[in-house]
C-alpha cells in the first residue's frame, strides 16, 4: 500500500520530506549542545574538547574526576546546598501564596480580577534585570541584600506566577457545587477547602511548585544583584567558574542538572496525566 | 405564638430576593410547611425556584423576610450549621472519595465514631440498594447510581429538611421514573421533609403532597396536585399544569358561583366562576381536552358548542381531535381509543359537549395564555 494519497505529485512528496528534514534539524540544533556536554563531563583531561583518546573510546580517557571535584570543592558543595535551600524555600512560599491567590481569583465575587491577575503575573513579563535593580534598591532599605530571606522572597515572587497559572488551570475544571455540597454536609469552609478543594487541585499545586523550584534553581540575574558570597547558588558558581577556573567541573554540574530537569519533566508529565484521569472520571 | 404555629416546621414569611438591588427575583414568598411534607416548587425557567432553594440552604442571602425552622429564624445561620441536606442537579459527589467515603464525610464532620459510621453507611447503602458499591469511586458509577449515592449522602446525617434541585434532570425517562419511585419510597419510610424543584409537571404531580406553582417570582397557587389540576385559581396555573383549551367570551351574569358566558364566536355556555371574575367583563373559559366529548355521546353534559373538524391524530391509547371555533381558536379533544371514537371528514361540523363543573371561567385582560407551551 502506498503511504501517500494517490493525488500526491512528486512535489507534494518532496515537500513532505523537506519538512521532515527541517524538523529534525531544528530538533538537533536545540538538543545537541545539551547532549554534547554529557560525554565531555567525563573527560579525564581538563579540556573542553574531545581528546583523541575519547574519540577512540579509550576507557582511560574517561574519568569521574570532575564529579569528584564537585563533592570535594567547598565552593561547589556550598553552591549546591544554597541552591536547594533557596529553591525549596522559595518554591514552598510561592506554592502557598500562589495557590491562595489562584483560589481567590477564581471566585466569581473577586473584584478587579483582571488587574490583580496582571499584577501578580507581571514578574513573568517584566525583564528580570529591571526587577533585580528595583529589588536591590528596595532591599537595601530593609537590609535584605546579601541574606537568605531576601533571596528566598525574591525567588518566590518569580515563582508565584507559575503556581497561579497551573492552579488556575486545574480550578477551571473544578465544580463549585462541590464546595457548596461540602458546606451543606456540615463542614466549615476551611475544612471543605482542605478536604475537597486541595485534593482535587493537588496536581496543579504540585506542578506549579515544581516550576517555581526550577525557576529559582536556574535563576542568575537576581542572584548576581542580591546575593553575597554566602548565598552563591549553582548558576552563579557556574557563571564565575566559566571565567575564573576553566575546567570541566561545570560540565559535570551541567550534566547533573540535565538529569534533574529530566526527572522533573517526567514528574510533571505524570501529574498531568493523573489530573486528566481524575477529571475524565468525573 | 399560637398553637397552630407550633406545628409548623418550616416557615417562609414574605421572603424577597434581589441579586442586583434593583429588581426582585422572588417577590414575597409565603409558605408554611409541616414536618414530613413533600413540597414541590414548579415553574417556568427563571421563575426563581433555585433562588428559593439557595436561600433555604444559606448559599444566598435573603433580601427581606424571614425563613424560620420550628419558629426560629435561620436567616443568620451559616450554611454549614443549618443541618439541611441538599441533592444537587449534577450530584456533586466528591470524585476523589469512594462512595463510602462520600457517605462518611457528613458523619465524620459531626464527630461520629468510626464503628458507628460504618454501621450507618452500610444501612444507607442498603436503603438505596447499592450494598456492594461502597469501595467504588463516583466515576465508576452510572448516572442513576450516582443519583442514589447523592440522595443517601443528603439523608445519612438525618437532616430534618432535604432540598432537591432538579435531581433527576440529567436522567433518561425510564431511570427518572424509577428514581421518582425511589425518592417517594424513602420519603415515606424515613419521614423527612422535602422541598423539591422540577420543571417536569408529571414528576411534580405524582410525587408531591403540595405543589407551589411559581411564575415570575410569585407563587400563583400552592395546593395538593389534584386540586391544582382540577381547580386552578388562575389562567396561568390552568395553562401551566397539564393541557387545557381556552375559549374566549363575555360574562353575561354570575349566578350562584357560576358564570353565564356568551362565546366570542357565538353561542352561550355556563362555567364555574373563578375568583375575581366580574359580570359584564371579558373572560376565558378553560376545559381539559379529556373532559370534552364529541356528539353523539353517552356522557352527561350541560354545555355545547359548534366547531369545525380540522384533524385527527392517532396517539395509541387515545385519539386527539382538532377542532376550530368560529372565532378561529383551536380546540383539542382527547378521546379514548375504543369503538366510539368517531370518524370525520375535513370541514365537517361537530358538536362538543361537557359538564359545567369541568370548566372554569377566568377573568381575562385581553391576552390569551400561551397554549403551545
Ligand atoms: N447569581 C445570580 N446573579 C444574578 N441574577 C441571578 C443569579 N442567579 C439567578 N439569577 C436570576 O434570577 C432569576 C431566577 O433564577 P433561578 O435560578 O432562581 O430560576 P429557576 O426558577 O431555578 O430557573 P430554572 O428552572 O431555569 O433553573 C433569573 O432571572 C436569573 O437570571
Ligand atoms: Mg434552577
Among A108, A179, A186, which would you mutate to test the B interface (most chain B Cβ atoms within 10 Å of its Cβ)? A186
Average pLDDT value over all residues in chain A: 89
Ligand 1 atom having least distance to the Cα of B26? 14
* pLDDT higher than 90, residue A73: no
Cα–Cα distance for residue pair B21/B19, rounded to 1 Å: 6
B26 lines ligand 1 (CB under 6 A): no
Residue B131 shares a structural domain with residue B263: no
pLDDT tens digits along A205-223: 999 999 999 999 989 999 9
Residue B182 shares a structural domain with residue B250: no
User: What does chain B come to in residues?
Assistant: 373
Q: Which three cell numbers stand for residue A41?
A: 563531563
Residue B22 shares a structural domain with residue B158: yes
Residue B372 lies in a domain: no
B369 lines ligand 1 (CB under 6 A): no
Q: Which three cell numbers stand for residue B109?
A: 464532620
Question: Which residues in chain B have their CB less than 8 angstroms from residue A280's CB?
Answer: 139
- Domain carrying residue B82: 5-230
Cα–Cα distance for residue pair B42/B47, rounded to 1 Å: 9
- The alpha helices in A106-147, defined as continuous H runs, are 113-125, 128-142
Residue B226 shares a structural domain with residue B269: no
* pLDDT higher than 60, residue A157: yes
B57 in A contact zone (CB under 8 Å): yes
Among B85, B87, B94, B165, which would you mutate to test the A interface (most chain A Cβ atoms within 10 Å of its Cβ)? B94
pLDDT at residue number B3: 44
Ligand 1 atom having least distance to the Cα of B199? 25
Q: Which parts of chain B register pLDDT below 50?
A: 1-3, 371-373
Residue with cell 416557615: B11
Residue B373 lies in a domain: no
- Its ipTM equals 0.80
* pLDDT higher than 50, residue A70: yes
pLDDT at residue number A239: 85
Sign of CA pseudo-dihedral A9, A15, A18, A24: negative
Ligand 1 atom having least distance to the Cα of B52? 18
CATH of residue B327's domain is 2.40.50.100
Q: What is the 3-state secondary structure (H, E, C) of chain B?
A: CCHHHHHEEEEEEEEEECCCCCCCCEEEEEEEEECCCEEEEECCCCCCHHHHHHHHHCCCCCCEEEEEECCEECCCCCHHHCCEEEECCCCCCCCCCCHHHHHHHHHHHCCCCHHHHHHHHHHHHHHCCCHHHCCCCHHHCCHHHHHHHHHHHHHCCCCCEEEEECCCCCCCHHHHHHHHHHHHHHHHHHCCEEEEEECCHHHHHHHCCEEEEEECCEEEEEECHHHHHHCCCCHHHHHHCCCCEEEEEEEEEEECCEEEEEECCCCEEEEEECCCCCCCCEEEEEECHHHCEECCCCCCCCEEEEEEEEEEEECCCEEEEEEECCCCCEEEEEEECCCCCCCCCCCCEEEEEECHHHEEEEECCCCCCCCCC
Q: Look at B105 and A185 and tell me if their CB atoms are within 8 Å.
A: yes
B50 lines ligand 1 (CB under 6 A): yes
Give the whole-number percent of chain A exceeding pLDDT 90.
Answer: 54
Q: Look at B80 and A196 and tell me if their CB atoms are within 8 Å.
A: no
pLDDT at residue number A278: 63
Residue B307 lies in a domain: yes
Residue B368 lies in a domain: no
| Coil, strand or helix at A278 | helix
B80 in A contact zone (CB under 8 Å): yes
Residue B238 lies in a domain: no
B46 lines ligand 1 (CB under 6 A): yes
* pLDDT higher than 80, residue A132: yes
Instruction: At B42, give phi and psi (nearest 5°).
Output: -125, 140
Residue B21 shares a structural domain with residue B115: yes
Q: Which of A192, A193, A178 is nearest to A102 (CA)?
A: A193
List Cβ neighbours of B32 (8 Å cut-off, separation of 6 or more). Answer: B8, B10, B11
| Coil, strand or helix at A185 | coil
Q: Look at A282 and B138 and tell me if their CB atoms are within 8 Å.
A: yes
Among B56, B57, B80, which would you mutate to test the A interface (most chain A Cβ atoms within 10 Å of its Cβ)? B80
Question: Which residues in chain B have their CB less than 8 angstroms from residue A181's CB?
Answer: 86, 88, 92-94
Does this model's pTM top 0.90? My answer is no
Cα–Cα distance for residue pair A116/A103, rounded to 1 Å: 13
Question: Which residue, of B202, B230, B258, is where some domain finishes?
Answer: B230
Residue B294 shares a structural domain with residue B204: no
Residue B288 shares a structural domain with residue B180: no
Residue B263 shares a structural domain with residue B222: no
Residue B295 shares a structural domain with residue B188: no
Residue B314 lies in a domain: yes
Cα–Cα distance for residue pair A223/B205, rounded to 1 Å: 72
pLDDT at residue number A279: 57
CATH of residue B192's domain is 3.40.50.300
Q: Look at B137 and A188 and tell me if their CB atoms are within 8 Å.
A: no
Question: Which residues in chain B have their CB less than 8 angstroms from residue A184's CB?
Answer: 57, 79-80, 82, 84-86, 154
Q: Which of A196, A173, A144 is nearest to A276 (CA)?
A: A173
CATH 1.10.3720.10 for domain A73-246, yes or no, is: yes
**Domains of chain B: total:** 2
pLDDT tens digits along A87-119: 999 999 999 999 999 999 998 888 999 999 999
Residue B44 shares a structural domain with residue B10: yes
Amino acid at each position: 500500500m502506498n503511504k501517500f494519497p494517490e493525488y500526491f505529485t512528486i512535489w507534494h512528496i518532496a515537500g513532505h520530506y523537506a519538512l521532515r528534514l527541517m524538523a529534525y534539524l531544528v530538533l538537533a540544533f536545540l538538543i545537541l549542545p545539551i547532549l554534547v556536554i554529557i560525554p565531555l563531563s567525563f573527560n579525564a583531561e581538563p579540556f573542553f574538547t574531545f581528546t583523541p583518546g575519547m574519540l577512540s573510546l579509550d576507557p582511560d580517557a574517561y574519568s569521574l574526576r570532575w564529579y569528584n571535584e564537585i563533592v570535594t570543592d567547598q565552593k561547589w558543595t556550598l553552591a549546591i546546598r544554597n541552591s536547594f535551600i533557596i529553591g525549596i524555600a522559595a518554591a514552598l512560599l510561592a506554592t502557598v501564596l500562589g495557590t491562595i491567590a489562584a483560589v481567590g481569583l477564581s471566585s466569581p465575587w473577586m473584584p478587579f480580577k483582571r488587574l490583580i491577575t496582571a499584577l501578580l503575573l507581571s514578574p513573568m513579563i517584566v525583564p528580570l534585570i529591571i526587577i533585580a535593580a528595583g529589588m536591590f534598591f528596595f532591599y537595601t532599605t530593609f537590609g535584605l541584600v546579601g541574606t537568605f530571606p531576601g533571596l528566598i522572597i525574591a525567588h518566590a515572587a518569580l515563582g508565584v506566577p507559575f503556581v497561579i497559572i497551573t492552579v488556575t488551570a486545574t480550578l477551571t475544571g473544578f465544580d463549585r457545587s462541590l464546595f457548596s455540597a461540602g458546606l451543606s454536609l456540615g463542614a466549615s469552609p476551611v475544612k471543605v477547602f482542605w478536604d475537597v478543594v486541595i485534593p482535587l487541585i493537588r496536581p496543579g499545586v504540585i506542578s506549579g511548585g515544581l516550576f517555581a523550584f526550577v525557576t529559582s534553581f536556574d535563576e542568575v540575574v537576581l542572584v548576581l544583584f542580591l546575593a553575597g558570597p554566602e548565598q552563591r547558588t549553582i548558576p552563579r558558581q557556574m557563571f564565575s567558574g566559566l571565567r575564573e577556573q576553566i575546567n570541566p567541573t561545570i560540565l559535570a554540574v551541567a550534566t547533573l542538572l540535565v538529569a534533574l530537569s529530566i526527572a522533573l519533566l517526567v514528574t510533571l508529565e505524570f501529574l498531568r496525566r493523573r489530573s486528566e484521569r481524575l477529571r475524565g472520571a468525573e | 405564638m399560637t398553637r397552630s404555629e407550633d406545628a409548623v416546621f418550616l416557615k417562609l414569611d414574605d421572603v424577597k430576593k434581589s441579586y442586583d438591588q434593583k429588581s426582585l427575583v422572588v417577590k414575597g414568598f409565603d409558605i408554611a410547611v409541616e414536618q414530613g411534607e413533600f413540597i414541590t416548587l414548579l415553574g417556568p425557567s427563571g421563575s426563581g425556584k433555585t433562588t428559593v432553594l439557595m436561600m433555604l440552604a444559606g448559599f444566598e442571602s435573603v433580601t427581606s423576610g424571614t425563613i424560620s425552622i420550628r419558629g426560629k429564624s435561620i436567616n443568620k445561620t451559616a450554611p454549614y450549621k443549618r443541618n439541611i441536606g441538599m441533592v444537587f442537579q449534577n450530584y456533586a459527589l466528591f470524585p476523589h472519595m469512594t462512595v463510602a467515603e462520600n457517605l462518611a464525610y457528613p458523619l465524620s464532620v459531626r464527630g461520629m465514631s468510626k464503628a458507628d459510621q460504618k454501621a450507618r453507611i452500610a444501612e444507607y447503602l442498603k436503603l438505596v440498594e447499592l450494598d456492594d458499591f461502597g469501595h467504588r469511586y463516583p466515576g465508576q458509577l452510572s448516572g442513576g447510581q450516582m443519583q442514589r449515592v447523592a440522595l443517601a449522602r443528603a439523608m445519612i446525617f438525618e437532616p430534618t429538611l432535604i432540598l432537591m434541585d432538579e435531581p433527576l434532570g440529567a436522567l433518561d425517562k425510564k431511570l427518572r421514573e424509577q428514581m421518582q419511585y425511589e425518592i417517594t419510597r424513602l420519603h415515606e419510610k424515613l419521614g423527612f421533609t422535602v422541598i423539591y424543584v422540577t420543571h417536569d409537571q408529571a414528576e411534580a404531580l405524582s410525587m408531591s403532597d403540595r405543589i407551589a406553582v411559581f411564575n415570575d417570582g410569585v407563587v400563583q397557587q400552592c395546593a395538593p396536585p389534584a386540586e391544582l389540576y382540577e381547580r386552578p385559581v388562575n389562567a396561568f396555573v390552568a395553562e401551566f399544569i397539564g393541557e387545557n383549551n381556552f375559549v374566549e367570551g363575555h360574562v353575561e351574569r354570575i349566578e350562584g358561583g357560576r358564570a353565564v358566558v356568551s362565546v366570542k364566536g357565538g353561542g352561550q355556555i355556563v362555567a364555574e366562576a373563578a375568583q375575581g371574575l366580574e359580570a359584564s367583563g371579558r373572560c376565558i373559559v378553560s376545559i381539559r381536552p379529556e373532559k370534552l366529548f364529541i356528539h353523539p355521546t353517552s356522557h352527561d353534559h350541560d354545555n355545547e358548542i359548534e366547531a369545525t373538524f380540522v384533524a385527527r391524530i392517532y396517539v395509541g391509547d387515545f385519539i386527539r381531535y382538532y377542532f376550530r371555533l368560529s372565532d378561529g381558536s383551536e380546540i383539542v379533544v382527547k378521546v379514548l381509543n375504543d369503538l366510539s371514537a368517531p370518524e370525520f371528514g375535513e370541514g365537517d361540523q361537530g358538536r362538543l359537549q361537557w359538564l359545567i363543573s369541568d370548566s372554569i371561567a377566568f377573568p381575562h385582560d385581553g391576552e390569551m395564555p400561551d397554549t403551545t407551551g
